[in-house]
Structure 1
Amino acid sequence: MEDPTRPTWPFLGTEAPAFAITPGQLRGTRFRAIFRGVFVDARVPDTVVTRARAALLLAPEGAVVSHWTAARLWGGRVPDNDFVHVSFMRRVRWRVRGIKPHCFTHRLDVLRRHGLPVTSPGQTFCHLARFLGLVDLVALGDSLVRKSRITTEELVAYAEDWPGQCRAEALDAARLVRAGVDSSPETALRLLLMLAGLPEPTVDVRIRRADGSVRFRIELAFEEVLVAIEYDGRWHADPEQRVRDAARRDELTRSQGWTFVVVTSDELYGDPEELLVRVWDELRAAGMAVPPRPSDAWRAHFRVQRVAA
């Protein structure tokens, strides 16, 4: 039976007596410490919302959730980061283990998310331009657009007007953000091809029935030569999904002449150079005009991890 007096949200240790919680109970298994001096019922999941709410309990007045933490609250995809990030429009001298403060002279563009003050999707993207590489920043933008937090046009406009640091990096990345992208690896695959000198593949190609309804989707495609580039992540290893993927590709190959280049994680993140050669050869064989060899611009953003025997 639920205890109505037991808080299901983060609370300060100093507030424990108001909930009839003893110091011994705080040290026991019924509660867990999120940060020093902030506790939560042990049954409450350790989510970004819970941690952000806990951080704001400790933060000085005016704190706004920002950077990686704000990105996750908006449903964006960003690399892992160990801190809860909060920002201020003034200088503060405040340190708590597990919380990273940022101080700005520019205005914080604040919205509410899960009842918390959070930097807007556009400002979150521009803040992270200082910290993320091009591929991760575009992946964040793609995910924010997919979640309908912002449009591609709004993101470019926000970056154009950005008064803070790394405006050029934010604008370069914003101009590469596209709608309809399913995953960060799909973003990375698209950028790898473009940085190597290929034309930009079309994202989220829809193959329709006679009545206009969508029958099949293709992640990335060079439509003029009917070459599809698709990333097979972990969920594609599911036997049923593999059967569906094979049937879809076989149907499009037989009925419309599509060629599929299926890319794995090992290729994209372990041997992008060999992957580019494979795509290059396939496009050339399909009759597409491609440069004599891939550009080396991709090397600044991808690492070759696999060592040749």
Structure 2
Amino acid sequence: MTTGLPPIYTRQDADAAGLTRAELRDDGVRVSRGAYVSRSLPLTVHARCRSLVAVLPAGAAFSHATAAGLLGAPVRDARPIHVVVAPGSPRPRRRGLQVHVRDLTAADRVAHRGLPLTSGAQSWLDLAADTAPDELVAIGDALCRAGHLSTARLAERLAQAGRTRGVVRARHCAPLLTPLAASRPESLIRYWLLDSDLPAPEVQVPVFDHRGVAVVHGDLGYSRWKIAIEYEGRQHAEWRQFGRDVDRYSFMASRGWLVLRFGAVHLDRRATVLDRVGAALLSRGALPGRA
């Protein structure tokens, strides 16, 4: 920009800087009434939220999927932007903004990358009402992995939740969360297994060499029966990673491990995943009653 304006500004800032209407149209992307992001800046969710801070009521915080996404969780849709305001505060009516009214304690709020957000525990509880359990576990795992959700804080928040909408699902899923799950797909598959009649899988299963040193770790699996469950995302197609995978899987096979590999095509095929894991367990004698 040549006006000296920062890349995120309000209409009042633009007027004070002497920006003409044509210059404003050419430079700024209007996020909401009076809130702009310069075209020189990528229009990320973070940038959109930064532009809204100046036009929201004092004490407002971004919440629900917006907060969870900004904290690093794999939320599926960035729109609308969710914000919570205190009772009695002005309730902004803006396109692309979904406003919730609630009292937040100090523990329910955090500052993250310059933005006021609901905490990891509060954001996760907010999402519980309208999020499928497997996706809720994936979001919770990601928040745990990023350090924004702890067992103690979540237990404290759920103990105070009363009859909050979604609290029953949240209490069911809370004991299943782990910071060890490395991705959304791993979390989904783990939840499917936990929700089935198959044995509960381990996370980050160690595979040892002849000296007893853990050389690699399977995403999920069963040490007792030497079954590993791996999810392969798009990055596994890169040739260096492919080479590492070949070496990894050949080592696991040499140690007697059966490796089940799943990909994006399986994320809407829950029954297939469970059938194949079940068959692998049966082949290793883990399910004698099903022979």
Q: Same fold by TM (over 0.5)? A: yes
For residues 244-298 of structure 1, give each alpha carbon's deviation from its aligned partner in whole angstroms, at most 9, with x where no partner exists: 21221111111x21110111222231x32233222211111111136649xxxxx
TM-score by length of 2: 0.90
**1:210 deviation in Å?**
8.3
Q: Residue in 2 aligned with 1:284?
A: 282
**1:171 deviation in Å?**
1.3
AA in 2 matched with 1:146: R
SS in 1 for 2:220: strand
Larger displacement relative to structure 2 (131-140 or 152-161): 152-161
CA contact (8 A) 2:73 2:142 kept: yes
Partner residue of 1:51 out of 43, 48, 66:
48
Q: Residue in 1 aligned with 2:240?
A: 240
Larger displacement relative to structure 2 (118-127 or 206-215): 206-215
1:80 aligns with 2:70: no
**1:141 deviation in Å?**
0.6
1:36 aligns with 2:22: no
| RMSD, aligned α-carbons | 2.3
AA in 1 matched with 2:225: V
Judged with a 3 Å threshold, the aligned counterparts in structure 2 of structure 1 residues 280 and 233 are, in CA distance, closer, same or farther, namely same
For residues 207-232 of structure 1, give each alpha carbon's deviation from its aligned partner in whole angstroms, at most 9, with x where no partner exists: 45689875212100111100001111
Judged with a 3 Å threshold, the aligned counterparts in structure 2 of structure 1 residues 228 and 49 are, in CA distance, closer, same or farther, namely same
Residues in 2 aligned to 1:52 and 1:142: alpha-carbon distance in whole angstroms: 24
Judged with a 3 Å threshold, the aligned counterparts in structure 2 of structure 1 residues 101 and 249 are, in CA distance, closer, same or farther, namely same
SS in 2 for 1:58: coil
AA in 2 matched with 1:32: V
Residues in 2 aligned to 1:95 and 1:257: alpha-carbon distance in whole angstroms: 61
Identity of aligned residues (%): 30
What are structure 1's unaligned runs of at least 5 residues? 294-309
Residues in 1 aligned to 2:79 and 2:65: alpha-carbon distance in whole angstroms: 9
Residues in 1 aligned to 2:150 and 2:209: alpha-carbon distance in whole angstroms: 28
Judged with a 3 Å threshold, the aligned counterparts in structure 2 of structure 1 residues 40 and 136 are, in CA distance, closer, same or farther, namely same
TM-score by length of 1: 0.85
Instruction: Figure out how many residues of one structure are paired with residues of the other and give that number.
Output: 288
Residues in 2 aligned to 1:99 and 1:290: alpha-carbon distance in whole angstroms: 55
What are structure 2's unaligned runs of at least 5 residues? none
**1:54 deviation in Å?**
1.9
For residues 69-126 of structure 1, give each alpha carbon's deviation from its aligned partner in whole angstroms, at most 9, with x where no partner exists: 1112211221213111110121554310011100125647111111221111111111
CA contact (8 A) 1:78 1:140 kept: yes
CA contact (8 A) 2:5 2:13 kept: no
SS in 1 for 2:31: strand
SS in 1 for 2:176: coil
CA contact (8 A) 1:160 1:171 kept: no
Q: Residue in 2 aligned with 1:202?
A: 202
AA in 1 matched with 2:35: V
**1:195 deviation in Å?**
1.6
AA in 2 matched with 1:227: I
SS in 2 for 1:15: helix
Q: Residue in 2 aligned with 1:220?
A: 220
CA contact (8 A) 1:218 1:230 kept: yes
SS in 2 for 1:34: strand
Residues in 2 aligned to 1:290 and 1:143: alpha-carbon distance in whole angstroms: 35
Residues in 2 aligned to 1:117 and 1:268: alpha-carbon distance in whole angstroms: 33
**1:241 deviation in Å?**
1.9
Q: Residue in 2 aligned with 1:11?
A: 9
**1:4 deviation in Å?**
7.2
AA in 1 matched with 2:153: E
AA in 2 matched with 1:242: F
Q: Residue in 1 aligned with 2:94?
A: 96
**1:48 deviation in Å?**
1.9
